[in-house]
């Protein structure tokens, strides 16, 4: 690939972000996909200047609608997201997509999918797609996703879609920051669908039954309805069930309408702000945890961590007292 | 139920644990299931004295064999674990079982399953079963499981089995602390089994194909073999595949033999200690994170957390600077 634009040195962030006018922020806000990709990498990897970048971008955030989509593997999430993206593009809205795959803790498989999907929309700078795979076990993926959404929001995208595979705690953490959460199910998942559904009834604002031309779509619908009658929501919204065949574009309009209706409901009931405050409470605690952990890690470098672990494994030291000592050490810094 | 034993006041831990002889520790070490249940609740809920309790128990740990079992919902894990427990009981080994269900973030459904399964083994104090459901989003479940395993280990159980549903990052974190990790699959999971398997090839020391009398068992076996030829392990162990029909007790002996063989391998290659040190490195970082988070939370009480979140939602304050300020504040304490 050609490189028609100058390198994008991370260090420039730190130097220039505090100035009132910043060419990188300007490029980002102009919608330049390469500036976007670079900025997301910076915050995702906690590269130099990440914190200054987020601080500088924060005033521009809060404008994008954030839609979260989750469901089991094979539910057709990507196809549905692509259909939604095309729909909103027709309405001249700019779209950012974050595709998260937390199911594979050791592989970086997301990258390939990213490239394949990118090609489809390559000619349209109004759609930006970014994939994220698992980054270790310290809840880093939810944090990275939130920060990437912040960058996309600040860059002026009208709509940010976050799609994630699976329905465990990781996915709940990831989609939690969305204004609208869509849970995608498919017919023919067998009895295990019960187990999967138990955890997500509470987070779904809208249900989608994709591949609804398959046998069993009515059964899934009945099951959702049955579980809905038991579920408790904090508001007066009854999540609608939208049937789609994403591969043929069937139901996309209906889904977009359901999204708009829920957004109108949030506005009418004045719930959007409340939801936002609740999300920030959770995010603040997570950000604090990360910051404190980083501080704690500085207390024990890699070498002494291994030595401590060996001493514990040999029963020469108990880990509970050790952690107390280290935390006390941090206090004295 | 009658209450033939005196109440078990948590506060006694704190007062008495530092003495050389402690009646609670003695009761726990005698295998008393009620003392065990109480002690696990104390560390699980971080009730008063939890830290002193773990410190006092630590010298007694490191003796139990810890076996982790994971697999998708409906794979028959509980039945298999029960069969293994019965097998080891015949060999006069005492067993502790921790059944973890991280798939349901909002319900406490684990409790019921606990009671149902408890009844089966009620007459045998040599089997202790404890269920755990998700405790919020801060990685608390892996921590709580590790601490419960520590209590069971210290109480003198010969064997601790940790079973968890699902194959995401949560489950990897939970089974990681086991000496032996068993991944359970079943025939007829459809194509999605590929997606599920991708993340667990690396953590399985032994594969079980349960319900292996069903059609498709050979196909699952071929798939595992095919993926094994691609997977990289840090040691020279090739995870065996054991076929079981747990509901009929078929294959339990073979599985126990496979477990013993892997344990012998670990011993021969001197890998058990290395594995232990690696686990403690990860656990130390997690314990540090939790301790630092607690410290951070003390910096911001509930009221100011909500106020901060509202200010951020109103864009009166940026969260990144706020967190830096709070962390600096913690430094000055």
- Tell me if A97 sits within 8 A of A81, measured CB to CB: yes
What are the structural domains of chain A?
1-59 (no CATH), 61-269 (3.40.50.300), 280-332 (no CATH)
Of A165, A198, A306, the CB nearest to B281: A306
Please give the backbone phi and psi of residue B100, each rounded to the nearest 5 degrees, phi first.
Answer: -110, 135
Please give the backbone phi and psi of residue B95, each rounded to the nearest 5 degrees, phi first.
Answer: -130, 135
Sign, CA torsion B34/B66/A169/A227: negative
Q: Among all residues of chain B, which has the CA nearest to that of A174?
A: B137
- What is the C-alpha R_g of chain B? 22
Q: How far is CA A318 from CA A74, A308, A321, B284, in A?
A: 45, 9, 6, 11
Sign, CA torsion B8/A319/B62/A315: negative
> Is the Cβ of B21 closer than 8 Å to some Cβ of chain A?
no
Gap between the Cα atoms of B114 and B121, Å rounded: 11
- Tell me if A128 sits within 8 A of A96, measured CB to CB: yes
- pLDDT score recorded for residue B11: 39
**Residues of chain B contacting residue A138, judged by C-beta atoms under 8 Å apart:** 139, 285-286, 289
- Tell me if B137 sits within 8 A of A282, measured CB to CB: yes
**In angstroms, what separates the C-alpha of A43 from chain B's closest C-alpha?**
12
Task: Estimate to the nearest angstrom the gap between the alpha carbon of A294 and the chain centroid.
Answer: 22
**In angstroms, what separates the C-alpha of A42 from chain B's closest C-alpha?**
15
Query: Residue length, chain B?
Result: 333
Task: Tell me the average confidence (pLDDT) per consecutive run of 10 residues in chain A, 333 residues long.
Answer: 36 45 81 88 86 90 93 85 94 93 48 52 82 59 88 96 76 81 83 55 88 91 80 82 95 98 93 88 83 75 84 90 81 46
> Is the Cβ of A51 closer than 8 Å to some Cβ of chain B?
yes
Gap between the Cα atoms of A206 and A240, Å rounded: 5
Low-confidence residues of chain B: pLDDT under 70:
1-21, 102-122, 133-140, 166-170, 189-201, 230-232, 302, 330-333
- pLDDT score recorded for residue A7: 37
The CA dihedral of A316, A318, A319, A325, to the nearest 10 degrees, is -100
Single out the residue of A269, A263, A257, A322 nearest to residue A296, CA to CA: A322
> Is the Cβ of A320 closer than 8 Å to some Cβ of chain B?
yes
Test B309 with A280 for CB contact under 8 angstroms: yes
Q: Among all residues of chain A, which has the CA nearest to that of B60?
A: A315
Test B285 with A107 for CB contact under 8 angstroms: no
Q: Among all residues of chain A, which has the CA nearest to that of B323?
A: A288
Gap between the Cα atoms of B238 and B247, Å rounded: 27
Q: Which two tokens stand for residue A210?
A: 């994709």
Q: Among all residues of chain B, which has the CA nearest to that of A289?
A: B293
> Is the Cβ of A112 closer than 8 Å to some Cβ of chain B?
no
Place of tokens 């607690």: B294
Of B59, B273, B284, the CB nearest to A319: B284
Q: Which two tokens stand for residue B247?
A: 């509901």
Of B103, B109, B280, the CB nearest to A313: B280
SS3 assignment for chain B: CCCCCCCCCHHHHHHHCCCCCCHHHHHHHCCCHHHHHHHHHHHHCCCCCHHHHHHHHHHHCCCCEEEEEEECCCCCHHHHHHHHHHHHHHCCCCEEEEEEECCCCCCCCHHHHHHHHHHHCCCCCCEEEEEEECCCCCCHHHHHHHHHHHHHHHCCCCEEEEEEECCCHHHHHHHCCCCEEEEEECCCCCCHHHHHHHCCCCCCCEEEECCCCCCCHHHHHHHHHHHHCCCCCCCCCCCCEEECEHHHCECHHHHHHHHHHHHHHHHHCCHHHHHHHHHHHHHHHHHHHHHHHHHHHHHCCHHHHHHHHHHHHCCCCCHHHHHHHHHHHHHHC
Strand-pair category, B127-133 with B159-165: unpaired
> Is ipTM strictly over 0.85?
no
Test A73 with B192 for CB contact under 8 angstroms: yes
Single out the residue of A58, A76, A16 nearest to residue A149, CA to CA: A58
Give A291-327 pLDDT, tens digit per residue: 877 777 777 776 788 899 999 988 889 999 998 888 8
- pLDDT score recorded for residue A245: 96
- pLDDT score recorded for residue B200: 66
Mutate to test the interface with B, among A216, A273, A284 (most CBs of B within 10 A): A284
- pLDDT score recorded for residue A214: 92
> Is the Cβ of A119 closer than 8 Å to some Cβ of chain B?
no
Mutate to test the interface with A, among B78, B154, B168 (most CBs of A within 10 A): B168
**In angstroms, what separates the C-alpha of A3 from chain B's closest C-alpha?**
33
Q: How far is CA A267 from CA A114, A117, A261, A264, B23, in A?
A: 34, 33, 10, 5, 60
Chain B, 207-266: which have a CB under 8 Å from a chain A CB? none
Gap between the Cα atoms of A257 and B190, Å rounded: 33
pTM value is 0.66
Test B297 with A285 for CB contact under 8 angstroms: yes
Gap between the Cα atoms of A232 and A244, Å rounded: 26
- Tell me if B163 sits within 8 A of B78, measured CB to CB: yes
Q: Where are the alpha helices (DSSP H) in chain A?
A: 10-16, 23-29, 33-44, 50-57, 77-90, 110-120, 140-154, 169-175, 192-198, 217-228, 252-268, 271-299, 302-313, 319-332
Measured at the alpha carbon of residue B311, what is the angle toward residues B307 and B312, in degrees to the nearest 5? 115
Test A319 with B276 for CB contact under 8 angstroms: no
**Residues of chain A contacting residue B306, judged by C-beta atoms under 8 Å apart:** 277, 281
Test B288 with A296 for CB contact under 8 angstroms: yes
Task: Estimate to the nearest angstrom the gap between the alpha carbon of B104 and the chain centroid.
Answer: 16
- pLDDT score recorded for residue B12: 41
**Is A52 exposed, middle or buried, given 0-12, 13-18 or 19+ CB atoms closer than 10 A?**
middle
């Amino acid at each position: 690939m050609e490189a028609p634009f100058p390198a994008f040195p991370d260090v420039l962030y730190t130097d220039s972000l505090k100035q009132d006018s910043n060419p990188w922020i300007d490029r980002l806000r102009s919608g330049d996909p390469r500036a976007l990709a670079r900025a997301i990498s910076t915050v995702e990897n906690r590269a130099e200047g990440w914190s200054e970048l987020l601080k500088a971008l924060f005033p521009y955030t809060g404008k994008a609608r954030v839609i979260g989509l989750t469901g089991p593997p094979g539910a057709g999430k990507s196809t549905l997201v692509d259909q939604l993206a095309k729909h909103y593009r027709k309405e001249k809205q700019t779209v950012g997509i974050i595709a998260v795959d937390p199911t594979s803790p050791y592989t970086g498989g997301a990258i390939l999918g990213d490239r394949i999907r990118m090609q489809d929309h390559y000619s349209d700078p109004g759609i930006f797609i970014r994939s994220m795979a698992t980054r270790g076990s310290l809840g880093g993926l939810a944090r990275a996703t939130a920060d990437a959404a912040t960058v996309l929001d600040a860059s002026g995208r009208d709509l940010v879609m976050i799609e994630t595979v699976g329905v465990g705690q990781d996915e709940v953490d990831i989609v939690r920051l969305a204004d609208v959460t869509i849970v995608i199910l498919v017919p023919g998942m067998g009895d295990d669908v019960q187990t999967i559904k138990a955890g997500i009834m509470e987070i779904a604002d809208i249900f989608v039954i994709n591949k609804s031309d398959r046998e069993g779509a009515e059964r899934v619908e009945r099951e959702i309805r049955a579980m809905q009658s038991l579920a408790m929501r904090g508001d007066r919204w009854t999540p609608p069930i939208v049937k789609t065949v994403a591969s043929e574009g069937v139901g996309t309009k209906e889904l977009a309408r359901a999204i708009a209706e829920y957004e109108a409901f949030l506005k009418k009931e004045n719930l959007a702000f409340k939801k936002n405050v609740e999300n920030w409470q959770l995010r603040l605690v997570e950000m604090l945890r990360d910051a404190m952990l980083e501080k704690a890690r500085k207390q024990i470098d890699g070498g002494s961590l291994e030595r401590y672990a060996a001493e514990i494994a040999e029963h020469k030291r108990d880990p509970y007292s050790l952690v107390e000592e280290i935390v006390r050490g941090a206090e004295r810094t």
